[in-house]
Amino acid sequence: MKKKQLLTIIIAAVLGGLAAVIAYSALIDDTERTVITQVREPVQMVSLTTALDSSSDFTIAAENTVNAVVHVTTQSTVSYRNPIYDFFYGDRYGGAQRNVEAIGSGVIISENGYIVTNNHVIENSQKVTVVLYDKREFEAELVGTDPTTDLALLKIDADDLHFIPFGNSDVVKVGEWVLAVGNPYNIGSTVTAGIVSAKSRNVGILNDRNLAIESFIQTDAAVNSGNSGGALVNLRGEIIGITSAIVTPSGGNVGISFAIPSSIVEKVVKDLIEYGTVQRAIMGVTIDEVDAELARDNNLDNLEGVYIAGVNTGSAAEEAGIKVGDIITAINGAKVNSPSELQELVGRFRPGDRISVTAKRNGKTQQFSVVLRNVQGSTSVVKAENYDALLGATFGVPDRQERQKLGISGGVKVLEVREGKLRNEEVRSGFIITKINNQQVNSVEELNNILRSVRGGVLLEGVYPDGNVAYYAFGL
C-alpha cells in the first residue's frame, strides 16, 4: 500500500471517530452523564478507634461499673395441679407445690449495701440472695417495693462496696452512647454497648394503669431477660437507668430494651429509705395524648402538649383551676408532649409540693399553681404504716412445712390476736391469710402495702392449720 493511501485511511478513521463522539454527545442529555474523577491522594480507612474520641471510651465506664452489678436469685413456692397428687389427696389443698427459682440483676448504689433491682425480679419471693462480683453471697433484706415503677430496694449487711453513682437522665440525648451492665447468669458482670434509641416510651407493661409511671429510655444495647434490674450507664459510668424490659418474640435479644430513668429511680430510693414507702404525688386528672384525631375533634391548632380529659372532684388540679379541655404544655418550665413525660415529671414530687403548670385554654397560655396531693387526697407525706395495732395482731410467715401441708404458695400467719378488728371478727391465731381483697399476700410488707391502698372494706381469705378455709370481712 502506498504511503499516500495509508495516510488517507488514517485521517478518515480519525474524522469518523470524532464525528461519532460529537453525535453521541448531541443525543445524550447532560443529566444522564456520569463523571468519573480520579483521586490521586491515598485512600484512608476509618477505624472505630479513630472515629471515637476520648470522651467515647467504653473502657472507663465499664471499669467503673462491672464491680457494682450483682446477680440476684429469688426462691418461692407455687401451687400447681398434679393429677397424681389430686388422686390421693383430692383438691382440698389446692394442688401440689414446687419450688421456683428466678434470676435477675441488681445495682449497688451505696457503699453500705443498698441495691436497686426490679420489682418483678423479687415479687412474691420468700428468699432473695445476692452474689457480688467477688463471689461473696448474701441473703438480702427487702427494704421496699414500688410496683408502679417496677422498682425494688434491697439491703445487704456489707460495707466498703463498689457502687455506681446516679447520673442525670434528663440530659441524656437520643443517639448518645450507653452501656447496659448486668449479671444475668452468675458468670460475672457483662457489658454491652448501644445508643439511646428514644426517651419517654410508654409500652404498657405495668399493671396499675392509674398510678403506673412508664417513661422508659429505649436502647439498642444487647439485653437479655436476666439483665432485668441491671444498670444502664453513660460513658462517665453513672446510672441513667435501670433495665426493666425487652421486646422479643423469641425470648432473646433483638435490640429493643427499656430502662427506668434515673430521675425516677433516685426519687423512689430516697422515699423507700426515708419513709418505707413511696410518696406518690398526683394532680388528679385523666390525660390523653394529643394525636391527629383528638386535635381534629377539638379544633386544636397543633399536636403539642397533653390533653386534660377529666378532672377529679376535690383534686389538686380542680383546686388550682385546671379544667377539662386544657392542654398542659410544661411543668415547672420543662416541656411535656406526651402523657408519659407528664407522669414522669409529676412523679418526681411528693405530696404537698407546689408545681407550676403551663397550659393552653382556647388557644391562650395560662399558668396554674398546683399543690400536689397523695392518693388519699391529702397533702401529707404518707408513712409506712404498721397494721399490727389496728388489726390487733402480730404477723409472721408460715414455714415451708406448713405451706406444703396446706397446699399454699405463700401467705401471712396470724401469730397472736389481741384487741382489735381481727378479734372482733373472731379470727383465731394460726390463721394464714392468703389473699386480701383477692390479691395474693406473701409477706407482712405486702399485707401492709395492700391495706394501705384499701378504701373501705377488707375481705380476708385464708386457711387454718386443720385445712379449714375461712373468709372475714370488715372495714378500715
Q: Which residues are catalytic?
A: 120, 150, 228
CA dist 174 → 193, 201, 221, 348, 359 (Å): 14, 12, 13, 22, 26
SS3 content of the chain, % helix, strand, coil (to 5): 25, 35, 40
How far is Cα 67 from Cα 329, in angstroms, rounded to an integer? 42
**DSSP codes, 5-18:** HHHHHHHHHHHHHH
Number of residues that this document lists for the chain: 476
How far is Cα 443 from Cα 434, in angstroms, rounded to an integer? 10
The DSSP call for residue 160 is S
Which three three-digit cell numbers place residue 431? Answer: 390463721
Pairing between β-strand 285-289 and β-strand 306-311 as defined by DSSP bridges = antiparallel
CA dist 343 → 57, 162, 287, 366, 463 (Å): 34, 32, 10, 20, 40
**DSSP codes, 61-112:** HHHHHGGGEEEEEEEEEEEE--HHHHHHHTTTT-SEEEEEEEEEEEEE-STT
Q: Which residues contact 200 (CB under 8 A, 6 or more apart)?
A: 215, 216, 338, 340, 341, 344
Contact 73, 154 (CB under 8 A): no
Q: 322 φ, ψ to 5°?
A: -75, 140
Helix (H, G, I), strand (E, B) or coil at 333: coil
